[in-house]
Amino acid sequence: MMGNFLKNEENDLRSIFDRFRKRNFTGDTGQAIKNSSYQLTTNVVMKLGSLVFTIVIARMLLPELFGLYSLALATVVLFSSFADMGIGSALITFVSKSLGQGNEKKAKAYFKKLLRWQTILVTIIPLILIGSSYFIANSYYNKPIFYALLVGAFYIPLIGFESFFENLFRANNKFKIPLIKEIIFQISRLTIIPLTIFILLKINLGQDLITAGIILSVNIVYFIGVLYLFFTSKKNIIFIKLKTSELNKKETNELKKFIVPLTATALSGIFFGYIDTIMLGHFVTSAYIGFYGVALGLVGSVSAVVGFSAISFFPLFSKLEKISLEKIFKKGRNLTILISLLAGIATYFLSYIIVEIAYGKDYLNSVPILKYFVILIILLPLTGIYEMYFISQKRTKPLAVLLVISTILNIILNFTFISYGIKFGQLEAVLGACFATIISRGFYWVGLSVLRKR
């Protein structure tokens, strides 16, 4: 059975390479291959850039300051996730479907409505962060990141609009523009932020001001990316120049019906993705948050490159009928399994060498965390392609219910394991968060697999 599986995947890979050689990107399969190639390149640039960036600033800041930066950024990103509420997925689904039907005016109407909702969210959420930042920094974390959270409020509209316009290009099957944006972003980040850190450390500021200065430089980098996407969209997205009427009541209600379950999904996804770091921020020192962040960042870099097919297949999933949909889905899933297994095995056996060479001996406490997190290199890409399948078919309600259940499980397990682990030491508390994350992610993927068959 495994032999047939490998043989089939080998044939598929040969077919893909043959299409590249002949530059044949016709049909749904050709479009999927073209999208995948751009998305893979984007993910490689993004994750390699992120990996190099993390290595550089981790070495510059050392575990304690790096942990404070990671905790502040995780908190800001948590808040920024509230500014999406499923709008990105709705944009890809409804705009790509309207364009697939040749109705550009309808695509513009969906674009206008969703942009209006996005603007409202990125106005409200930063105010909430500003109002709660003192309590979060000084009462819950008891760590010097108050100024960083205030500065981080400006990050929220920037990341919100960047994500919105990237999804707009993907809905148009224009995956090249996000790739160019990512290259600009990574170059800016690898120059502006390390230079900022060097200056801040040179003038010997306190930890709170250093962390705030780093977050400010992050905002500047994202601002550059937003400007590029905004001006490029005016030239490349033709339908946004059209004059069109508003969506009617039925269409607006359909859009809301699609987004409401995704709102629950987004809220649950926030806690699912960040509850471990947020809880650790209360229990352990910033240095151990740095160790955890290094391991999680390495796994995230590898799994994002492996899981490139999830995003690139999304616009096609929205258009295909059942038979073609199943065929494309299975090909993407099987290819993801094969690549993620190889990547996971390599990461496990090379974990000590990777951490020592990349981050230095100061971060060797990350090695046992990374070895356990290798399981996520397999789970995260698979979960991504299953999620895209459900969202593209507008089966958002069962997805939301499952994610809510998995998130509750994740919160309970994190609190239980971290609380128990801290009795034995800080590393044990971090490993507790690691186990909680793996178990809840595994439960979520199994649930997705079961639901898809129904």
pLDDT tens digits along 123-140: 999 999 999 999 999 999
C-alpha angle 183-184-186 in degrees, rounded to nearest 5: 65
Tokens for 171, please give them: 């809905």
Structural domain spans, the chain: 2-452
pLDDT tens digits along 307-327: 655 555 545 554 545 555 666
How far is CA 65 from each of CA 70, 178, 214, 276, rounded to the nearest angstrom? Answer: 9, 31, 11, 19
Q: Please state the separation of Cα 131 from the chain's center in Å.
A: 26
CB 370 within 8 A of CB 300: no
In a structure prediction context, what are the per-residue pLDDT tens digits for the chain, which is 454 residues long? Answer: 444 544 454 455 455 555 555 555 555 555 565 666 777 777 778 878 888 999 999 999 999 999 999 999 999 988 988 887 778 878 888 888 887 777 888 888 888 889 899 999 999 999 999 999 999 999 999 999 999 999 999 999 999 999 888 888 887 777 888 889 999 999 999 999 999 999 999 988 889 999 999 999 999 999 999 999 988 888 878 787 777 777 888 888 888 888 877 777 667 777 777 889 999 999 999 999 999 999 988 888 777 767 655 555 545 554 545 555 666 677 777 777 888 888 889 889 999 999 999 898 999 999 999 999 999 988 888 887 777 777 666 676 787 788 889 889 999 999 999 999 999 999 999 999 999 999 999 999 999 888 877 6
Q: What is d(CA 292, CA 207) in angstroms, rounded to the nearest whole number?
A: 20
For 328-357, the DSSP string reads HHHHHHHHHHHHHHHHHHHHHHTHHHHHHH
pLDDT tens digits along 199-214: 999 988 889 999 999 9
User: 3-state class of 25 per DSSP?
Assistant: coil
Q: Position of tokens 């974990």? A: 351
